[in-house]
């Protein structure tokens, strides 16, 4: 089998954690937009551009500011970003949006009609659709968020939750945002469930999804007033007090501010949670070749073969990648992940946009 030519083979680009609506994100910087637009134009065609969660920051901002922007605060809205990105049009077949924890409200607004208002309108009793409603998919005008895209792109929009599968070079890849892997987002649910017995797995998964939905509803309520947004931003936002303290602490050792990117690189706990999430939450009896997520803002790669002891997929290793984010570090405005067809396996790379708009291959 000959290798697919890069000039004609359709590829996938993954953008995670853009956080539209916050002043800290690099999407407000024209350098990042211009570099991304040029890369998409020069390296297409693209089967999909995938926004893998926290596209809109509806916890630390509002829907209006995230979508429409705020000129006084220098905040670029997602609508203008997409209009500028696709002018002239890009060779992209489909735009995929996987809601994360900061934009979980998008999932709420799409799923509520399915389980509630449409059921009532049909005359059927509530509860016709089993709860919790854990997965859904909406295309084109079915997904109200598609109206934020330029008119020519609306029919290409797909909202998929909580995972989005991709086939490349005969291999199956699964993408998600990654908040279900985070104990703080699931009220420690997935961490507790790692030791769950076969008899109570389904009950544990159900409780985890319910608790996560409850957590996100509370988190979204923060955005209702400016004071509450400011307080939470100070505590857990991209430039929170702990991040500032760490930068000051490390300044003498590194000679410069440490990266404000938060949380942990890919570790054993995440790898174990990935296998549990795929098998029990998503019904993936056979593991994918590759699992891609974001959420931690820390780009990286690993493999489940690094899990010692008992495994959920004992004979099958999964390649794991984190696409990073568009919260800037000292030298990188944002990162993105690319999936390209190869001779036998997909070719996956993570690149960064530097402060001058140059694309730097990270791994």
On whether the CB atoms of residues 359 and 353 are closer than 8 A, the answer is: yes
| Domains of the chain in sequence order | 11-179+225-361 (3.60.21.10)
Mean pLDDT of the region 44-72:
95
Mean pLDDT of the region 186-204:
75
Please give the pLDDT value at position 4. 38
On whether the CB atoms of residues 261 and 250 are closer than 8 A, the answer is: no
Residue 146 CA neighbour count, 13 Å, CB half? 22
Q: How confident is the model at residue 2 (pLDDT cuts 50, 70, 90)?
A: very low
The two three-digit tokens of residue 304, written as one number: 């489940």
More confident residue, 217 or 323: 323
Q: Is the pLDDT of residue 3 over 60?
A: no
Longest dimension (CA), the chain: 67
Please give the pLDDT value at position 188. 67
Give the H/E segment covering residue 276. Answer: helix 268-276
DSSP states along 61-100:
S-HHHHHH-BTTTTBPPHHHHHHHHTSSPPSEEEEEE---
Please give the pLDDT value at position 182. 85
Matching residue, tokens 């300044």:
251
- Taking 3-state DSSP, the helix, strand and coil percentages for the chain, each rounded to the nearest 5, stand at 40, 20, 40
DSSP tag of 37: H
More confident residue, 228 or 104: 104
Mean pLDDT of the region 338-358:
96
What are the residues whose beta carbons fall under 8 Å from the beta carbon of 318, sequence distance 6 or more?
274, 275, 278, 287, 288, 289, 290, 291, 303, 304
Closest C-alpha to 146, from 194, 112, 97? 97
Closest C-alpha to 133, from 148, 101, 111? 111
On whether the CB atoms of residues 194 and 273 are closer than 8 A, the answer is: yes
pLDDT 10s digits, 72-121 = 999 999 999 999 999 999 999 999 999 999 999 999 999 999 999 999 99
The SS3 assignment for 15 reads strand
The SS3 assignment for 354 reads strand
Look at phi and psi of residue 78 and say left if phi exceeds 0, alpha if psi is from -120 to 50, else beta: alpha
The SS3 assignment for 13 reads strand
Strands 332-340 and 300-303: unpaired
On whether the CB atoms of residues 87 and 38 are closer than 8 A, the answer is: no
pLDDT 10s digits, 304-322 = 999 998 899 999 999 999 9
More confident residue, 242 or 108: 108
Please give the pLDDT value at position 255. 34
């Amino acid at each position: 089998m000959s290798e697919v030519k890069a000039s004609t083979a359709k590829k996938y680009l993954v953008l995670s954690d853009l956080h539209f609506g916050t002043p800290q994100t690099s999407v407000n910087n024209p350098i990042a937009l211009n570099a991304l637009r040029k890369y998409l134009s020069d390296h297409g065609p693209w089967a999909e551009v995938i926004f893998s969660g926290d596209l809109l920051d509806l916890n630390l901002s509002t829907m209006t500011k995230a979508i429409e922007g705020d000129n006084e605060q220098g905040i670029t809205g997602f609508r203008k970003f997409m209009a500028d990105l696709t002018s002239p049009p890009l060779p992209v077949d489909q735009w995929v949006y996987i809601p994360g924890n900061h934009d979980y409200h998008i999932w709420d607004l799409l799923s509520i009609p399915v389980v509630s208002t449409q059921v009532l309108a049909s005359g059927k009793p509530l509860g016709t659709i089993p709860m919790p409603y854990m997965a859904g998919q909406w295309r084109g005008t079915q997904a109200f968020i598609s109206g934020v895209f330029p008119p020519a792109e609306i029919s290409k929009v797909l909202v998929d939750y909580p995972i989005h599968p991709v086939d490349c070079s005969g291999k199956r890849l699964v993408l998600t945002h990654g908040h279900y892997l985070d104990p703080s987002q699931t009220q420690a649910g997935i961490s507790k469930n790692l030791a769950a017995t076969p008899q109570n797995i389904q009950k544990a998964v159900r409780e985890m999804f319910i608790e996560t939905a409850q957590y996100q509803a509370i988190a979204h309520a923060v955005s209702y007033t400016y004071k509450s947004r400011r307080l939470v931003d100070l505590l857990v936002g991209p430039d929170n007090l702990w991040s500032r303290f760490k930068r000051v602490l490390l300044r003498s050792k590194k000679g410069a501010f440490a990266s404000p990117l938060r949380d942990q690189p890919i570790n054993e706990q995440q790898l174990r949670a990935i296998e549990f999430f795929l098998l029990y939450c998503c019904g993936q009896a056979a593991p994918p070749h590759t699992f891609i997520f974001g959420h931690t803002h820390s780009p990286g790669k690993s493999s489940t073969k690094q899990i010692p002891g008992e495994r959920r997929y004992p004979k099958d290793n999964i390649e794991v990648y984190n696409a990073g984010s568009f919260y800037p570090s000292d030298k990188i405005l944002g990162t993105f992940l690319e999936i390209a067809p190869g001779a036998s396996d997909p070719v996956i790379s993570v690149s960064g946009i530097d402060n001058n708009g140059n694309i730097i291959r990270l791994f």
